[in-house]
Structure 1
């Protein structure tokens, strides 16, 4: 929940100038709903994709305050973040609702960025893998083989989001390697090797290099660092590891 439409328009213009022609990797921004019209307009002739931070899994109806995929598609939005930890823990979204959203986004030909991750309590009690397995199995229930590669998975340990704490590269790679193996069991190893898994959690230019070089980390789901010019630095760091 950052940037007014005026601020978002200016920042999108900066990104367009600095990384708007970057075709070697996928660069996506996900501003608040109210900023989407101006951001999609600024970025429409660039290589930068635009996503939303959430949706409601119905085309329309009496769901005051919610946004549908049809509204997003009309603006030219291509991605939707689903199941972000703040949606899970602040707004009480369940695995079942998140699964409904993932499938609805896919049915409407958009790309879900499906978020998973454990809390500090769950990690300290040795339940990290148990939690991740439950979130993946429930969140991807009913997603068919032909659709799974359209899903981007984002591992965001809740204890490392906005806290300044960062999972070590080894901790992140271990958890994301587990997720990749789990997807391999569900969909086959060939799929698991191709699916994109992002790391999210206090990413900055100072630590991203050590994370992105890890075997199971395909990119970043960036929070605070995406609100300033450091986002451009992160794009350039990621490009080195293509």
Structure 2
């Protein structure tokens, strides 16, 4: 059994209870003041284990999320169907089928823009109208499974499993550029299983090689502005970008960099 917090707004927090061994679980809205269940939805899909050339990573650490909370709604993805639920009542406002293959062994992520909900699954992105759930566009299939993503201004970055970053236009789904960030390692992962992050005019992408680190890419054209690495003893880095700053944490060290793009 696993418990995850999907988000909170107002007086409601949304929790997901999942049983990986048995499959399925429950998403529930809980009243913060009392702990009382306001609504509950059964789910069929669990965050399964993604396997890449023998390297297993729990999807909770590899760019997957079961859902998100925003503007009085909870959005979640279950077995190929995306749902929008009223946060206060649990009423299903819309549902959109075939936004993922239903393959629980592939990582997926929900990303929200000003008016779209982006469903990133495997090698494809589906854009849904946030108000109605109507599909706006589907991206071309990228060559690598996306293990993480980051939303910049009008751009979505996908971190491919074998070392290439792919950038899409969020308005149309059109591919803008792709950049090989790292060579494939023996485990099959070039970029990190953890998600990249977006700052002002750049993306920060964790890199896995003999020594882990971070690559900073221009959001405009994907050019690698610079890379930083730690020692071979440090585990995979995680990143968080804000404005012109990018913060990187390894197993031993926290670093801060100022980015000029």
More strand by share: 2
Task: Point out the structure with max Rg over C-alpha.
Answer: 2
TM-score by length of 2: 0.26
If each structure's helix is expressed as a fraction of its own residues, which one has the higher value?
1
Query: What is the TM-score when the length of structure 1 is the normalising length?
Result: 0.27
